[in-house]
Structure 1
Amino acid sequence: MVGHRMQRLTPKKGHTMTTISLNVATRLAAAAQSAAEEMGTAMNIAIVDAGGHLLDFTRMDDAWLGSIDLALKKAKTSILFPKPSGALGEISQPGGPVYSIEHSNGGLITFGGGVPITDADGRMVGAVGVSGGTVDQDVRVAEAAVQAY
């Protein structure tokens, strides 16, 4: 992919995983921070790799301390279930097909602010999680990071 530095991880012979690099994660977090600054809202921004492991974390000055965990869990949710965290929330309501899923995997977040990052071939290469504003603001900032990819 032109303009994107990718890493290829080879955990076992014959199995490969493509993920974003630290340099890319840092650039995406900067794009998210810029979007948050334009809104005038202090945010916590987490970027994880394709395995769900933290690559970059930005806590803007005066961002809520309680939102640190939310940003991390939103990114984790989006990488474990390849969809925006808010989309998982739509199907996890009472009577939904995955009701109470937020209690799995050490805790998930099922409202907006987590967005998967996919490459040109549609492969998930990471995810971003943002928390600190309204859900709509968190989603817009997360999408700014993804658009910077």
Structure 2
Amino acid sequence: MKTGSYLERSDVLRVAAAAEAEAVSNGWAVTIAIVDGGGHLLALNRLDGAAPATAHIAPAKANTAALVRQESKSFEDQINGGRVAFLSAPTLQGVLEGGVPIIKDGHCLGAVGVSGVLPGQDAQIARAGIAAL
């Protein structure tokens, strides 16, 4: 049996704070979601002014990134390239840029999903949060 790392509450709070700081410093109203390696929601922070739909989209992006252990952007790129079958993939609802996995020693500990601004900006916020680890 192997043992592994996981996100502790202090890790989640640190990621959330760093992601929020990145969004606030840029004046971006977003929702930030953090999930564990199985895609289960650990934290959700909808900043003032973020559209209600972002509270659904951010966790979906994070969930997708955690389950496939890669950025959700990879699916958006494939769909935009004509592989629309990914739109029907079971359990993968957040197939838009902005979901970034948290990888340590080759293992996915979870992911951060952000929604509310341009796709690259969503990913920028997620990466800023992860960088705090």
Give the TM-score taking structure 1 as reference length. Answer: 0.81
Residue pairs, 1:118-129, within 5 angstroms: 118-119=103-104, 121-129=105-113
Q: Which residue of 1 aligns with 2:123?
A: 139
Structure 2: gaps (5+ residues)? none
Residue 101 in structure 1 maps to residue 81 in structure 2: no
Equivalents in 1 of 2:32, 2:50: separation in Å? Answer: 10
Structure with larger Rg: 1
Which structure has more relative contact order (CA 8 Å, sep 6+)? It is 2
CA contact 2:99–2:114 (8 Å) conserved in 1: yes
Residue 72 in structure 1 maps to residue 62 in structure 2: no
Q: Secondary structure at the match of 1:52?
A: coil
Structure 1: gaps (5+ residues)? 1-13
Q: Secondary structure at the match of 1:63?
A: coil
Deviates more, 1:24-33 or 1:86-95: 86-95
Residue 38 in structure 1 maps to residue 25 in structure 2: yes
Q: Which residue of 2 aligns with 1:55?
A: 42
Relative to its length, the structure with more strand (as a share) is 1
CA contact 1:51–1:79 (8 Å) conserved in 2: yes
Superposed CA RMSD in Å reads 1.6
Give the TM-score taking structure 2 as reference length. Answer: 0.90
